[in-house]
Structure 1
Amino acid sequence: MNFSNKNLLFFFPESPFSKRAGNVLRTYTNLKQLKSLGFNIDLVGVEDYYNSFGDSPQDIDSAIINDVFVLKTKPPKKKLTLEYWKYKIQKKFNKENSNQYLTQYLKDNFTALLAQKKYDYIFINYEFWTDLIRDQDLKGAKTIVDTHDWITLNEFYNNKNLDLGKRFGKEINNLSLYDKVVTISQDEYFIFKSFLGDKVINIPPSFPENFEGSNIEKKYDLIFVGSDNPFNILSINWFVEKVLPLLPKEIKICIIGRICKHVPDHDNIEKVFFVDDLNIYYHASKIAICPMLKGTGIKIKVVEAMSYGLPVVGTEKAVDGFSDKKNNGCFVSDDEKEFAKMITKLIDNKSDYLQLKDEAIHFFKNNFSEKKSVELWEKTLNF
């Protein structure tokens, strides 16, 4: 189907062009693939997010995005204006929302956007922004939500007193409002499909193949790429404290991203806070590690590493959402001694290393290719 005359409104709170974390990088990839199908895409973000990350609406790719709208969460602080007092009073009477940025002022601004232009598709990222479309006149637009994660479980990790039944009921209720519900994890696909039926479709993350540089001389034994979210901080601290002391003294480790702020200085670790091009570092590394202890959904960092032909050593969380928990290019264990042994085995035994590397490449080609992803988007949106 040709979508060249179709208008798509794409909501993602932060700038997808920063590519600072796995979820952001995947969103950028989705935009590229949707554009390749011919859509006219308008991007909507939230000013508080842009400001907190130091992003600018000017830093977009005009080859992908037609217009960008960065919405405010509250009116300017001019106490003499009617608008200011209107929202000040509304805030007192509105029921408390767990998403503090989803204010009535933001919703009203989103409504104003919908009034300006007719959209054929409205694309919302994350279930907890669903109130943006609730009770709106969408003028016949088809709605899609990209779940990213199982939000109830994610929130439970951060709050053990969470009322699971109430929160999951709300999540399912929100997802039921959409025409299509997109997951990236096979596990979450089965959960949501059980409640919501055929409107749920799984579209795994995708990357271009970068296998051609895999024979470059290796500078690092291990590589870890991550933002400074709480799950990454917990995971890399576990690795440094529990696993690193068990590894060979000469091992070389490269850690990239904002996670470096939380990594102690160590003779074996090279910290790189930001790079424009990860290709150089992935091609210079032998093995990717993913020591995640918490979190939901597919780990984008694992798929990205596989796109470079790297085998992965991780915890059991590293293969969350995979269609096959074995024969996928990953060695996994939650035990620090086993984790260290798996790394040492791959470094010392070339045949084991090459076998796992081949598995990673094969699994990537069968599950995470760009071509397959574009075909799934086309099928999902053709309804």
Structure 2
Amino acid sequence: MSKILFISAHAPTNLYPQAGQKIALSNLNKYHLDNTTVDVVVIANKAEINAATDLIGKYKNNLFTYSLNKSDKIISCLTNLSIPFKFSTRYQKAVAHKLQALLAKNTYDAIHFEYSHAAVYLDFIKPLINSKNTHTVISIHDVVSQSFLRQSENNLILGIEVARLFKFEKKIYSNVDQLWVLSTKDRNILTSLFAIPENKIIIKPPQLSDFIYKIKRNIEKVDQKSLLFWAAMNRSENEQAAINFIQECFVNLLKIDSEYKLYIVGSNPSAKIRKFASENIIVTGFIENPTQFFEKAQIGIVPLLQGAGIKLKTLEMLQAGLPVISTSIGAEGVETSKNIFINDRFDDWVNIITNLASGKLTIDELSR
């Protein structure tokens, strides 16, 4: 019988409205076979753990959860100053003690770190591994250094943190047997930026939401001049993307034609986002089945200016058949040029959207 230790920096679940948690559950379930036992250690925000009833029901006595609040993260950062902050927030003494106990009584065939910052325990675990045959894996959702680098321009403190992150990431990625990434783009970053051998890297494209494959778009259902932004709105990069788009593009679209509509569909929109709600800007909050918005929106938008890694929101709108306008960050890792137009200037988006909405041009024609 195989034995796996799965350590995750977020709760693997289909019941929390963010893409990463669903990817984590998909990776966890790959190990869950009849002849395999999986011990699952989760260090995550309390809301995620409370939502993960599918995880709790399935793994029961083999599940060990550790919920975090802001004070826990601050204390961890202050007591582990040698570790970059993104990683030190997940280092908890109680978790280290549990891992020590598990490794003392079990011989694992594989130790899997889900999210790079779960691997903050790698140095602690390595001396405790009692088999030379134990395989170590990190599943990388985002290259953390890349995300922070984009925020560090003209910010000395963040610039210092980027340097610490780069050194730390290079170390952990070099010291495991295998790395899982979501796209060719991330693999290329690891090989070029961190000098990781390509044969250590496995590309595992993310599984899309089940409802995406049931969407049936047709001209009768589509609302002309309607736009869809599909995202978890409690993430700061998504919130800022929506605000930037509204202020720098959508208000100008309404000056041209007051019939334009923007659907902001996703969980936990902040007060900043809700204040934009109007007849033309529909803020839905969490929607259990958002099929109707994918079927009636004319154009999908991904106006992200921050973040790293492949964007599931972009892949899902493309899979559903929407023409998509995206920034280069929103299109990262997307390996098709079909039905997506990439542009980083919101001033240009006004003309792009009006041409697409009126039918004067298609995505293919815009791309020529």
TM-score bin (small chain): 0.7 to 0.9
Q: How does 1:190-269 map to 2 (within 5 A)?
A: 190-194=188-192, 195-197=195-197, 198-207=199-208, 210=213, 212-215=215-218, 217-219=221-223, 221-227=226-232, 228-247=234-253, 248-258=257-267, 260-261=269-270, 262-263=272-273, 264-269=276-281
Give deviations 1:315-344, integer Å, cap 9, x for gaps. Answer: 1212212335xx232112111232122222
Q: How does 1:109-188 map to 2 (within 5 A)?
A: 109-136=98-125, 137-138=128-129, 139=131, 140-159=133-152, 160-161=155-156, 162-163=159-160, 164-188=162-186
Give deviations 1:255-281, integer Å, cap 9, x for gaps. Answer: 122363232223211111111122232
**Which residue is equivalent to 1:6?**
2
Whichever residue aligns with residue 69 of structure 1, its letter is F
**Which residue is equivalent to 1:103?**
92
Give the drift of 1:172. Answer: 0.6
* Structure 1 SS opposite 2:123: coil
Task: Name structure 2 gaps, 5 residues minimum.
Answer: 70-74
Q: Is the 8 A contact 1:15 1:55 kept in 2?
A: no
Give the drift of 1:68. Answer: 1.7
| Greater Cα offset, 109-118 or 238-247 | 109-118
| Greater Cα offset, 261-270 or 132-141 | 132-141
* Structure 1 SS opposite 2:283: strand
Verify: 1:287 aligned to 2:299, yes or no.
yes
Verify: 1:67 aligned to 2:59, yes or no.
no
Whichever residue aligns with residue 266 of structure 2, its letter is G
The alignment covers a number of residue pairs equal to 334
**Which residue is equivalent to 1:373?**
none
Give deviations 1:193-224, integer Å, cap 9, x for gaps. Answer: 24110212222223256265122612572111
Give the drift of 1:45. Answer: 0.8
Q: Distance in 2 between matches of 1:19 and 1:44?
A: 17
After superposition, the CA RMSD in angstroms is 3.2
Q: Is the 8 A contact 1:210 1:309 kept in 2?
A: no
Task: Name structure 1 gaps, 5 residues minimum.
Answer: 75-87, 360-383
Q: Is the 8 A contact 2:215 2:291 kept in 1?
A: no
Q: Is the 8 A contact 1:311 1:329 kept in 2?
A: yes
Q: 1:59 to 1:188 in 2, by over 3 A?
A: closer
Q: 1:144 to 1:223 in 2, by over 3 A?
A: same
Whichever residue aligns with residue 221 of structure 2, its letter is E
Give deviations 1:73-109, integer Å, cap 9, x for gaps. Answer: 79xxxxxxxxxxxxx9x99986553223303332122
* Structure 1 SS opposite 2:190: helix
Whichever residue aligns with residue 136 of structure 2, its letter is T
Q: Is the 8 A contact 1:40 1:65 kept in 2?
A: no
Q: Distance in 1 between matches of 2:318 and 2:140?
A: 23
TM-score, length of structure 2 as denominator length: 0.79
TM-score, length of structure 1 as denominator length: 0.76
Q: 1:184 to 1:250 in 2, by over 3 A?
A: same
Give the drift of 1:313. Answer: 0.9
Q: Distance in 1 between matches of 2:9 and 2:2?
A: 22
